[in-house]
Copies of this chain bind each other. A is one copy, B any other.
Amino acid sequence: MESITAAPARRTSIGAQRNPDSEEAILAAAEAILIEEGFSAFSIEAVARRAKAGKPTIYRWWPSKAALLLDVYHRQKQDMSVADSGDVRKDLALFVKGLLSFWQDNGGAVFRSVIAEAQSDPATLEALRNYLLQRWQQTGDIIKRGQERGEIKPGIHPELLIEILSGFAWSRLLTGRLDCSNAEIDAAVDAVVSGIAAR
Contact = CB atoms under 8 A, between A and B. Distances in A.
Given A152-B198, A160-B188, A164-B164, A171 B170 contact: yes
Interface stretch (A8-16, A67-75, A111-119): A111-119
B129 A161 contact: no
Nearest to A125: B176
A163 interface: yes
A77 to B, nearest CB: 17
Contacts of A170: 167, 170-171, 174
Q: What DSSP secondary structure best describes chain A's contact surface?
A: helix
A111 to B, nearest CB: 10
Interface stretch (A56-64, A99-107, A189-197): A189-197
A156 B191 contact: yes
A135 to B, nearest CB: 12
A191 to B, nearest CB: 6
A179 B29 CA distance: 38
16 contacts: A88-B197, A115-B119, A125-B175, A132-B175, A151-B198, A153-B196, A153-B198, A154-B198, A156-B191, A161-B196, A163-B171, A166-B167, A167-B168, A193-B196, A195-B195, A195-B197
